[in-house]
């Protein structure tokens, strides 16, 4: 069974870590990553940039692009894609294409600051 683990924390807190503090957390995590990856149990892991870099596409007949992250209220976090494109405009186009296939809800588009491919799973 594949699982996703979603990471939540206070952005105020995390972005006010000093570089040394951030490095220390990442180093501790890295130890766990390495073990899980060796065991073939860890696939891609991602660290997202702050929500200030996010853009949201509200899907529907007339999709609407809005600055900022998606605020979870009535909708829940159900899945995500990892894409490789040259610009935000391209990313939005991908989201629009996906939105045509599945025209309800919203896609939040957020650049990644770290992408680790991990071990092949499945």
Dihedral angle at the C-alpha atoms of 48, 6, 115, 13, nearest 10 degrees? 40
| Of positions 64, 111, 115, 116, contacts other proteins by CB under 8 A | 111
Using CB under 8 A, which of the segments 33-41, 50-58, 74-82, 99-107 binds other proteins?
Answer: 50-58
84 belongs to the binding site for other proteins (CB under 8 A): no
| Of positions 76, 89, 104, 120, contacts other proteins by CB under 8 A | 89
93 belongs to the binding site for other proteins (CB under 8 A): no
108 belongs to the binding site for other proteins (CB under 8 A): no
Paired strand residues for 114: 47
Nearest to 113 by CA among 14, 43, 34, 31: 14
Burial zone of 86 (CB within 10 Å; 0-12 exposed, 13-18 middle, 19+ buried): exposed
| Of positions 12, 39, 61, 72, contacts other proteins by CB under 8 A | 12
Residues 6 and 80: beta-carbon distance below 8 Å: no
Give me 19's structure tokens.
Answer: 């570089």
Question: Where do contacts with other proteins occur on this chain (CB under 8 A)?
Answer: 10-13, 15-19, 21, 24, 49-53, 55, 65-68, 87-89, 111, 113
């Amino acid at each position: 069974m594949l699982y996703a683990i979603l990471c939540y924390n206070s952005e105020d807190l995390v972005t006010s870590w000093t570089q040394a503090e951030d490095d220390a957390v990442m180093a501790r995590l890295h130890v766990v990553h390495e073990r899980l990856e060796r065991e073939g149990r860890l696939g891609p892991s991602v660290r997202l940039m702050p929500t200030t870099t996010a853009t949201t596409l509200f899907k529907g007949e007339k999709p609407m692009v809005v600055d900022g992250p998606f605020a979870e209220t009535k909708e829940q976090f159900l899945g995500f894609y990892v894409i490789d494109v040259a610009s935000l405009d391209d990313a939005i186009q991908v989201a629009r294409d996906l939105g045509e296939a599945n025209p309800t809800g919203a896609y939040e588009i957020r650049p990644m600051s770290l992408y680790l491919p991990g071990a092949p799973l499945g």
